[in-house]
Amino acid sequence: MQDIKATPALSMPQRIKAILIGSSGNLVEWYDFYVYTAFSLYFAKAFFPEGNQTAQLLNTAAIFAVGFLMRPIGAWFFGRMADRHGRRVALTTSVLLMCFGSALIAVTPVYATIGVAAPIILLLSRMIQGLSLGGEYGTSATYLSEMATSERRGFYSSFQYVTLIGGQLAAMSVLIVLQRFVLTPAELEAWGWRIPFAIGALLAVIAFVMRRDLVETESFRRAKSHEGSIAALMRHPKEVAIVVGLTLGGTLAFYTFTTYMQKFLVNTSGFSKDTATMISASALLIYMLLQPIVGALSDVIGRRPVLITFGVLGSLCTVPILTTLQSVNEPLQAFALVMAGLAIVSCYTAINAVVKAELFPTSVRALGVGLPYAITVAVFGGTAEWVALWLKQLGNEHYFYWYVSGCIAVSLCVYWTMRDTRYDSAIDKAGGA
């Protein structure tokens, strides 16, 4: 076993400090990952110079999806590492890998300079980032859930999505600053899109230094075994199936109303790039602040009622929201509709991580949280943007609205039948279960 920084008993200030450090690293990882989609409107021509705007975005969305396809491998590798050698080791390694991926994109020559090698290097960079992020989710969800006390686990673990959204918001904020105050549109398309990737690489180095001093969780230190293998995970088939089912609709809705929404507002609603960015960023800020509120609510009323709320409202409201949004021309109207969608999605995002962590015993928790989640996200979340743009190109964009709604309805069936982990948590069982 690797060297583990530990204390005999953790005080609440120590727990909060560990949660904040773990969360800050999570923010950096997601910033690095989301910079790609935030700036793709500007660098699409640099890597894919031929075709119309939708075709170029379709190509960048395909590479975005490939990054997600690497996440299951990252979830397996880092989940195994976290369950066998400790959460801290996996968290520090994953953020270092993200640094390398971001730095590589920042220095990659464009298509006009090196031809087809440019999109190939871009693809390899996204694969590296996908590996990193695949390990980050399961490990950070496990770490935050284990560090929190049982009475406020929903509240503290919600900070994973606070920082996840914060990373996306930080990426958009960098875009807004560059758009409004620093560079012209021509400069952004020519070379300015490299700046946020360079910033991300630097931030990842800082996060690595901070994470080296993380305290290991009590659950891991007290666990009777540290298996972290696929064979061990397969002894919990019901829990694996629940993770897949509860993630399916939630991840598709999340990526629809976050990463894809900026392009939707430009490509479908007809807003300018600057206006679309401001609408998305404003909605994301409020969305981020909703996470701990919903997480704290789940500590009071349980996890199932919150998830069921998302399932019911998401199934009923997604089609009307997106259908109306495609024809609005006022920024405030668009903001209200996007915010309505994100408010509904909050009932999934705020607590999905803690629910998954509460399903599995300590010996396979990081792997159990990360691997089935990563596979589901790769299939549904990572392809959301690509499917939406593909259907738009075919002239059947409204089919995508029904696709999202239908997937949420499938997840609703899981929410309705699963146990409420607020009152039956594997984290609280003797010996870490």
- Please say whether the beta carbons of 345 and 257 come within 8 A: yes
pLDDT digit string, tens, across residues 333-359: 999 999 999 999 999 999 999 999 999
Q: How distant, in Å, are the alpha carbons of 18, 58, 414 from that of 214?
A: 6, 40, 35
In which residue are the tokens 């958009």 written?
172
User: Per-residue pLDDT for 61 more than 80?
Assistant: no
Mean pLDDT over 275-303 rounds to: 94
- Provide the 3-class DSSP secondary structure of residue 66: helix
DSSP string, 33-62: HHHHHHHHHHHHHHH--SS-HHHHHHHHHH
| Domain architecture of the chain: domains with CATH | 13-214+235-422 (1.20.1250.20)
What residues contact 169, with CB distance under 8 A and at least 6 apart?
281, 284, 285, 288
The overall average pLDDT reported for the chain is: 88
Structure confidence at residue 9 (pLDDT):
63
Structure confidence at residue 334 (pLDDT):
96
In which band, very low, low, confident or very high, does the pLDDT at 222 lie, cut at 50, 70 and 90? confident
User: Per-residue pLDDT for 48 more than 80?
Assistant: no
Q: Flag the least confident range among 229-233, 268-272, 317-321.
A: 229-233
User: Per-residue pLDDT for 307 more than 90?
Assistant: yes
Structure confidence at residue 290 (pLDDT):
97
pTM of the model: 0.84
pLDDT digit string, tens, across residues 234-286: 999 999 999 999 999 999 999 999 889 988 999 999 999 889 988 988 999 99
Structure confidence at residue 86 (pLDDT):
86
Burial class (CB in 10 A: 0-12, 13-18, 19+), 170: buried
Q: Flag the least confident range among 93-97, 193-197, 331-335.
A: 93-97
Structure confidence at residue 4 (pLDDT):
37
Instruction: State how far the Cα of 16 lies from the Cα of 20, in Å rounded to an integer.
Output: 6
